[in-house]
Amino acid sequence: MDSIVVTGNGPLNGQIPIAGAKNACLTLMPATLLSEEPLTLTNAPRLSDIRTMTTLLQSLGAEVSSLQDGQVLAMSSHDISNHKAEYDIVRKMRASILVLGPMLARDGHAVVSLPGGCAIGARPVDLHLKAFEAMGAELDLRDGYVFAKAPGGLKGGIVDFPIVSVGATENALMAATLAKGTTVIKNAAREPEIVDLADCLRKMGAQIEGDGTSTITIQGVDRLHGATHSVVTDRIELGTYMLAPAICGGEVECLGGRIDLIGAFCEKLDAAGINVEETDKGLKVSNRHARVRAVDVTTEPFPGFPTDLQAQMMALLCTAEGTSVLEEKIFENRFMHAPELMRMGAKIDVHGGTATVTGVERLKGAPVMATDLRASVSLILAGLAAEGETIVNRVYHLDRGYEQVVRKFSGVGAKIERVKAE
């Protein structure tokens, strides 16, 4: 397996272009199944997860072409020839479950394997199924697959989620666009990716109100048409690269960045002593201080602090002045990066969903192991600020969520290289 070698090299300066959002694109791609007409996505990220979703859609009969070096996805689902999403593809990525709602809404039946993905908690699909049942679907779970049917088509209903779920909100939203009547989604997720999906669906002819709030109302239509849509900026990649000058010092402008996408994260950077300012091109982040201040962080659904930035924020706080407390409220088992950071000299005490981090003046390079997508990049950030060389192993996780990571870090002065496995 490939590894990434990082050597602490002082302050970083320059510009980093931020890609389209992985989580948004993985949701937008299944929307092609809702219409017989073409759907084109621009500003698409070039990631292994996007290739996996492409393979899944093609297995169902959709046509997917990658254009302009992968930044444009041209899709057409004029003929869904297969309504079964096989385990061998679905197991690679949890977002695969998002083909269930569109197929069920359009053709009244679908068979989808229970999904896989990162090992950061159970993340069951029961909320997705609850939503489809509220719209009149008949569901049967057997042999590791969800067998779903709605012989007379889905019907509008009240979907009231007991907890906020981004994926379940997305699946319900897509399914409801073709359901007969009105569907109301209560306790809906409010993430920018939800708003981006709703914007795309409206371009396709859907009637949606309330996205970005906890109550979304959808008036079903008979059919959707084609559209062209630009994928929203990846707020997690944005936050990750904003942390690079925060942890190393220097000044970096993140092109395409927007404060409204990560307001709670920016507030924590400000409390830590990091300066963030909007420019006409994005967000400029600077750190003129020797060490940042300790801050407490609690992960929450949007607009709170994103769970997908918790690992990266922990890397920063490992070198902060004082003691920080990080509370993880979204996913259990999401502190697996802590022992790896401790190999680099970090002082971290984990109890259940809480990690107490006592800052040290300088981390030390060491061989470490990536345990999941966000943990992998947190170790790179730590390595950028560490004394000596850090070798990050099992970086295949990284390819799922960050495009050209070595090039982007190198472009602002980081000493980083990818070493191919022999």
Binding residues: 22-23, 94, 123-127, 308, 330
Are 219 and 207 within 8 A, CB to CB? Answer: yes
Return d(Cα 43, Cα 62) in angstroms, integer: 20
Provide the 3-class DSSP secondary structure of residue 362: coil
Going by their DSSP bridges, the two strands 109-113 and 145-149 should be labelled as antiparallel
248 catalytic per annotation: no
- Pick the catalytic residue from 25, 118, 200, 254: 118
Distance of alpha carbon 358 from its chain centroid, rounded?
28
Going by their DSSP bridges, the two strands 158-160 and 145-149 should be labelled as unpaired
Residue numbering of the annotated binding site for UDP-N-acetyl-alpha-D-glucosamine: 94, 123-127, 308, 330
Return d(Cα 48, Cα 14) in angstroms, integer: 27
Return d(Cα 262, Cα 283) in angstroms, integer: 11
Residue numbering of the annotated binding site for phosphoenolpyruvate: 22-23
The label of the residue with tokens 């937008």 reads 28
Find all residues with CB under 8 Å of 1, minimum gap 6, and list them: 393, 394, 395, 396, 421
Sheet holding 250-255, edge to edge: 12-17, 250-255, 282-287, 275-278
Query: Residues with catalytic annotation?
Result: 118
